């Protein structure tokens, strides 16, 4: 019985992984393209304060960055150490994990396009709410203490990612000309592999957790947890419990979307799913990193402010989409396919596996292995990357 239960959970995990494989490759490829043509070199100078212009720039830079939560947190700390405004650094962090293209694609595949719309409406709303909360409650004294702690250089995860030089293609020329160049193709391949290395453990963990919960937790238990018997109570409870489930799930970045699909099918409210996906920046391992980076008080402050923004964001997004009659009502998120067959998913997977193979080959031929070694450990000085 135990072996059968484990096998069933693993099969569900594999099924979900197979369903989203092409979307993952497509998302990371597009992310690599964006990062290859958007320069991050002047990021710190562009984020001097928490005014709307700085927050918009921070959000745009986040969209053009890696979707890995650990990398986003490390880069945000690096920006803050070099003088960027703390609120702007947090806006970058939120955008980097909630407004990136690969997240939207995976959500379309597993949850449906309405959830992607919700995410891209809710992301900017969350940044605005965090900025307001920080303006009201963040004191200069707390910022100074956090900056002193940040300057100590405590090691978290993906430190090398934050300290590496910008690999984007510099100079004039159109985006297409930059991408067609040798440097453009190499930079795209390096960002593609770097993002996969950054996030693959979260994707695998997310699939395993989602598979286990889908296989082992009865639907009746989910209905009790999410108060599905009381519509009003369910609407209130969903955005409050969603982030808390995220905290203890240890799953962040794109890896939490499969688990979101399980929660949606289990009965959590639409706003609860949105707030759960937002909460990839307050999972327990990242809270520990905040403590290392900024100290216990600032880590506690970030958790509290982010939690409020995520919960309120869930309520607002559900309300907005309800007004426009866009909120989903059918709970048919893709969790399990009966069997792997030769259909459009298989064809897309084959096509994009070939694309991934080409990118990995160029990565290996252009010094990518050395780049990975630099990425995994913090560097004392900036390093330049020669692109061919």
pLDDT at residue 71 in the model: 80
SS (H, E, C) the chain: CHHHHHHHHHHHHHHHHHHHHHHHHHHHHHHHHHHHHCCCCCCHHHCCCCCHHHHHHHHHHHHCCCCCHHHHHHHHHHHHHCCCCHHHHHHHHHHHHHCCHHHHHHHHHHCCHHHHHHHHHHHHHHHHHHHHHHHHHCCHHHHHHHHHHHHCCCCCCCHHHHHCCCCCCCCCCCHHHHHHCHHHHHHHHHHHHHHHHHHHHHHHHHHHHHHHHHHHCCHHHHHHHCCCCCHHHHHHHHHHHHHHHHHHHCCCHHHHHHHHHHHHHHCCCHHHHHHHHHHHHCCHHHHHHHHHHHCHHHHHHHHHHHHHHHHHHHHHHHHHHHHCCCCCCCCCCCCCCCCCCCCHHHHHHHHHHHHHHHHHHHHHHCCHHHHHHHHCCCCCCCCCCCCC
pLDDT for the residue numbered 382: 41
Average pLDDT value for residue range 202-206: 89
* Mean pLDDT, residues 272-280 taken together: 95
Per-position b or e across 167-197, b if 16+ CB within 10 A of its CB:
bbbeeeeeeeebbebebbbbbbbbbbbbbbb
Q: Model confidence at 156, in pLDDT bands (50, 70, 90)?
A: low
Burial string for 81-111 (b: 16+ CB within 10 Å, else e) reads: beebbbbbbbbbbbbbbbbbbbbbbbbbbbb
User: Hey, what's the torsion of the CAs at 201, 165, 380, 28, to 10 degrees?
Assistant: 0
Which of the four pLDDT bands, split at 50, 70 and 90, describes residue 163? low
Residue carrying structure tokens 């005014």: 51
- The mean per-residue pLDDT over the stretch 204-208 comes to 90
Task: Give pLDDT, residue 37.
Answer: 72
Is the pLDDT confidence value at 168 over 70? Answer: no
Please measure the distance between the N-terminal and C-terminal CA atoms of the chain and give it in whole angstroms: 55
* Mean confidence (pLDDT) of the chain: 86
Q: How confident is the model at residue 251 (pLDDT cuts 50, 70, 90)?
A: confident
Distance of CA 303 to the CA centre of its chain: 17
Using an 8 Å Cβ cutoff, are 316 and 238 in contact?
Answer: no
pLDDT of residue 381: 39
Binned at pLDDT 50, 70 and 90, residue 272 comes out as very high
CB 67 within 8 A of CB 94: no
Residues in CB range of 138: below 8 A, 6 or more apart: 86, 87, 301, 305
pLDDT in tens, 38-69: 665 566 678 899 999 999 999 998 887 767 78
Sequence spans of domains, the chain: 2-333+342-375
Q: Calculate mean pLDDT across residues 251-280.
A: 92
> Mean pLDDT: which of 129-143, 246-260, 321-335 is highest?
129-143
| 223-239 tens-digit pLDDT | 999 999 999 999 999 99
Residues 269-287 have a mean pLDDT of: 94
Query: What pLDDT score was predicted for residue 64?
Result: 79
In tens, the pLDDT along 315-365 reads: 999 999 999 999 998 888 877 655 566 778 899 999 999 999 999 999 999
Per-residue model confidence (pLDDT) at position 384: 36
Given a cut of 90, is residue 261 above it in pLDDT?
yes
- Binning pLDDT at 50, 70 and 90, where does residue 200 land? confident
Mean pLDDT of 116-126: 96
């Amino acid at each position: 019985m135990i072996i059968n239960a484990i096998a069933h959970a693993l099969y569900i995990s594999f099924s979900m992984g197979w369903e989203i494989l092409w979307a993952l490759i497509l998302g990371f490829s597009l992310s690599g393209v964006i990062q290859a043509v958007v320069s991050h070199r002047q990021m710190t100078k562009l984020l001097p304060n928490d005014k709307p212009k700085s927050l918009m720039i921070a959000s745009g830079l986040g969209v053009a960055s890696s979707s890995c939560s650990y990398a986003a947190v490390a880069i945000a700390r690096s920006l803050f150490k070099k003088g960027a405004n703390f609120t702007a650094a947090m806006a970058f962090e939120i955008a980097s994990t909630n407004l990136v293209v690969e997240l939207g694609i995976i959500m379309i595949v597993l949850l449906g396009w309405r959830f992607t719309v919700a995410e891209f409406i809710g992301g900017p709303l969350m940044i605005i709410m965090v900025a307001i909360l920080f303006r009201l409650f963040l004191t200069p004294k707390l910022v100074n203490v956090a900056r002193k702690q940040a300057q100590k250089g405590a090691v978290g995860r993906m430190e090398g990612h934050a300290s590496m030089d910008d690999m984007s293609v510099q100079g004039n020329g159109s985006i297409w000309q930059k991408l067609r160049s040798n440097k453009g193709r190499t930079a795209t391949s390096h960002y593609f592999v770097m993002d996969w290395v950054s996030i693959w453990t979260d994707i695998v963990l997310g699939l395993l957790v989602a598979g286990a919960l889908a296989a082992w937790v009865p639907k009746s238990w989910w209905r009790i947890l999410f108060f599905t018997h009381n519509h009003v109570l369910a609407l209130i409870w969903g955005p409050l419990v969603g982030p808390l489930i995220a905290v203890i799930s240890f799953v962040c970045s794109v890896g939490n979307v499969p688990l979101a699909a399980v929660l949606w099918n289990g009965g959590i409210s639409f706003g609860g799913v949105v707030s759960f996906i937002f909460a990839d920046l307050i999972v327990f391992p990242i809270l520990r990193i905040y403590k290392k980076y900024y100290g216990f008080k600032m880590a506690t402050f970030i958790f509290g402010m982010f939690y409020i923004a995520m919960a309120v964001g869930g309520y607002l997004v559900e309300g907005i989409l309800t007004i426009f009659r866009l909120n989903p009502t059918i709970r048919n998120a893709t969790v399990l396919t009966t069997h792997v067959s030769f259909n459009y998913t298989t064809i897309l997977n084959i096509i994009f596996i070939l694309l991934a193979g080409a990118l990995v080959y160029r990565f290996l031929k252009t010094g990518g292995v050395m780049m990975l070694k630099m990425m995994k450990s913090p560097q004392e000085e900036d390093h330049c990357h020669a692109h061919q």
